[in-house]
């Protein structure tokens, strides 16, 4: 249904794996516009990730201030880059492409502060792996549509939804769920009367007024 509404979404690489990791950290609790601005500012200030890894936290914080929660994210980026260097001897994460997907997820999740959503973003957007990130939009639409039970946590939803979608459709599923959550199935004032999922939606608000 969503593919019919929003069209086919062929996979395209967003960033290389390390850049995707940093971009996902910067995207937390902020808008795409702000996180994109912070990502660009960070690369502009330092030129490459090796220099970011060797930079002072205060300098990283200054570069990403436009993204919000700059201190927290600066510390996280610094620690993660240091951990990767310690384990791998370089910041090249291309090796993840050769690992079985569950091993790649496990390796990423050993990094400080990296959960299933961040790991999923790295694997899906940078390497085209069938890992499904569940952000707030995917979680909300899936729960309202009855794809996952009400009491399921966001972490549990990753595996449940990933198991429901055939691997070759995971990228399109994620992208369309996000777009639907942003445009129609909003957290506040959802546009239920124009929703293409209205006929199958089990959410109690499906009869609410269309704002």
Annotated catalytic residue within 117, 151, 183, 209: 117
Residues 36 and 18: their CA atoms lie apart, in Å, by 15
Positions of E strands within the chain: none
Tokens for 180, please give them. 């639907």
Catalytic residue check, 209: no
Two tokens at 70?
A: 């700059």
Question: Which of 16, 211, 6, 10 lies closest to 123, judged by CA?
Answer: 16
Q: 74 burial class (0-12, 13-18, 19+ CB within 10 angstroms)?
A: buried
Contact criterion met (CB below 8 Å) for 157 and 142: yes
Residues serving a catalytic function are 117
């Amino acid at each position: 249904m969503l593919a019919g509404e929003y069209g086919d979404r062929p996979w395209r690489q967003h960033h290389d794996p390390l850049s995707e990791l940093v971009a996902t950290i910067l995207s937390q609790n902020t808008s795409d516009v702000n996180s994109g601005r912070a990502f660009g500012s960070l690369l502009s200030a330092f030129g490459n990730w090796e220099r970011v890894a060797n930079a002072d936290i205060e300098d990283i914080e200054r570069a990403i201030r436009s993204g919000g929660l700059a201190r927290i994210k600066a510390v996280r980026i610094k620690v993660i880059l240091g951990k990767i260097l310690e384990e791998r001897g370089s910041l090249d994460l291309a090796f993840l492409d050769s690992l079985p997907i569950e091993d790649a997820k496990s390796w990423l999740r050993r990094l400080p502060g990296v959960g299933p959503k961040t790991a999923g973003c790295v694997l899906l957007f940078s390497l085209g792996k069938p890992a499904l990130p569940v952000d707030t939009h995917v979680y909300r639409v899936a729960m309202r549509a009855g794809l996952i039970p009400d009491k399921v946590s966001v972490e549990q939803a990753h595996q449940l939804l990933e198991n429901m979608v055939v691997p070759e459709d995971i990228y399109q599923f994620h992208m369309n769920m996000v777009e639907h959550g942003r445009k129609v199935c909003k957290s506040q004032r959802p546009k239920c009367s124009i929703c293409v999922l209205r006929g199958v939606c089990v959410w109690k608000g499906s009869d609410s007024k269309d704002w």
